[in-house]
Copies of this chain bind each other. A is one copy, B any other.
Amino acid sequence: MSMTIGFVAEKTCCSVATIRYYEEKGLLGRIGRAANGRRAYGWPDIGRLRLIRRLRDLGFGIDAVRTLIEAMHSPDSAACLDVRDLALSHIDVIRAKRAELDALEAILTDLAASCSDACRNGHSPDCTIIEAIRA
């Protein structure tokens, strides 16, 4: 009936060590043990791990994941809105990061291009890219 950590790792695309880590961090609740002392998982644990993995991939931190899971299990109807708010504020974070990346890409593209021009004919070591960055 119960599954080993290795099997669960395979099913959830989490490493064995990561699963133990999540347990230690309190994201999994209590995990039962078989008679031989090994962790024994059930299907709900796999679902929960997949959810955790999904949330992590979406960029939520461990604490945020815990909050979300707790809200999910809360009978409180306000919890759902808390979840939405967390998601919304997370979108802001993502947008800010993306804006940064856009700017960085533009800068690097320019720099690489001008560097390429300047360096082709042996100009060095006052590489344009360094000069431009230095400014």
Q: Could you tell me which A residues sit within 8 Å of B by CB distance? A: 47, 50-51, 54-55, 57-59, 68, 71-81, 83-84, 87-88, 90-91, 94-95, 97-98, 101-102, 104-105, 107-109, 111-112, 115-116, 118-119, 122-125, 127, 129-130, 133-134
The distance in angstroms between the C-alpha atoms of A134 and B51, with both chains bound, is: 5
Q: Are A102 and B111 in contact (CB under 8 A)?
A: no
Q: Could you tell me the distance in whole angstroms from the C-beta of A112 to the nearest C-beta in chain B?
A: 4
Number of copies: 2
Q: Are A125 and B74 in contact (CB under 8 A)?
A: yes
With A51-B133, A58-B104, A98-B98 as known contacts, state yes or no: A125 contacts B75, CB within 8 Å.
yes
Q: What residues on B are CB-neighbors of A77 within 8 Å? A: 119, 122-125
With A108-B94, A125-B76 as known contacts, state yes or no: A115 contacts B58, CB within 8 Å.
no
A95, A107, A130, most chain B CB atoms within 10 A? A130
Partner of A83, one of B79, B83, B115: B115
Q: Are A130 and B83 in contact (CB under 8 A)?
A: yes
The distance in angstroms between the C-alpha atoms of A27 and B106, with both chains bound, is: 26
Partner of A125, one of B71, B101, B115, B116: B71
Q: What residues on B are CB-neighbors of A51 within 8 Å? A: 130, 133-134
